[in-house]
């Protein structure tokens, strides 16, 4: 049973890594190229005043589809629920820097509007999400994932005893 839970966890991590890499391509290869060569600014990519970037909304939708398909393939709801929990609590954001080999920033202001991460501003008493706040949100996400895995674990059927 524990082996299966670990396999599902690594399946979720693979999905998060894929999302982080897609995030990297869009932000660093497309957005930054548009900004540098076409006189565009970051607010040009926002959904409204002080709003999220349209790409964040697109990535949210992509995460639903990706973890939904992975859960169907694995026949395990933990992959869907746990994947979304880890995505929305910031693990994908950490992986975004990991796939590029970059150090983590001290301030994560683009995560202020994400409810499962933004609440840490009140815990750390900072204006924006800070690195300790982000790491706390990820730790909470990992704990929620563990709880989800325990809740949805499949109980093995007992084999009949052989005489």
pTM of the predicted model, to two decimals? Answer: 0.84
* 32 falls within a domain: yes
* 12 falls within a domain: yes
For each of the chain's 163 residues, which pLDDT tens digit applies?
A: 678 888 999 999 999 999 999 999 988 888 778 878 877 776 666 666 556 677 788 899 999 999 999 999 999 999 999 999 999 999 999 999 999 999 999 999 888 888 999 999 999 999 999 999 999 999 999 999 999 888 877 544 345 556 5
* 162 falls within a domain: no
* 158 falls within a domain: no
CB atoms within 10 A of CB 60: 15
Q: How many residues does the chain have?
A: 163
* 161 falls within a domain: no
Count structural domains, the chain. 1
CB 31 within 8 A of CB 113: no
Q: Residue 112's domain spans which residues?
A: 2-151
* 67 falls within a domain: yes
pLDDT reported for residue 52: 66
pLDDT reported for residue 157: 39
* 142 falls within a domain: yes
Angle CA 16–76–135, to nearest 5: 35
> Residue 68: enclosing H or E segment and its boundaries?
helix 54-74
* 157 falls within a domain: no
User: What gap in Å lies between CA 121 and CA 136, rounded to an integer?
Assistant: 11
């Amino acid at each position: 049973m524990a082996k299966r839970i670990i396999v599902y966890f690594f399946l979720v991590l693979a999905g998060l890594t894929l999302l982080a890499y897609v995030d990297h391509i869009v932000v660093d290869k497309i957005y930054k190229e548009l900004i540098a060569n076409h006189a565009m600014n970051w607010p040009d990519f926002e959904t409204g005043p002080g709003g999220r970037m349209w790409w964040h909304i697109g990535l949210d939708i992509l995460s639903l589809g990706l973890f939904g398909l992975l859960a169907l393939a694995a026949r395990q709801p933990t992959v869907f629920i746990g994947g979304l929990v880890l995505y929305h609590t910031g693990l994908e954001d950490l992986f975004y820097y990991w796939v590029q080999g970059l150090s983590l920033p001290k301030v994560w202001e683009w995560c202020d509007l994400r409810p499962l991460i933004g609440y840490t501003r009140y815990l750390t008493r900072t204006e924006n999400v800070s690195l300790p706040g982000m790491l706390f949100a990820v730790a909470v996400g990992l704990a929620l994932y563990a709880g989800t895995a325990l809740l949805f674990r499949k109980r093995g059927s007992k084999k009949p005893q052989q005489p």
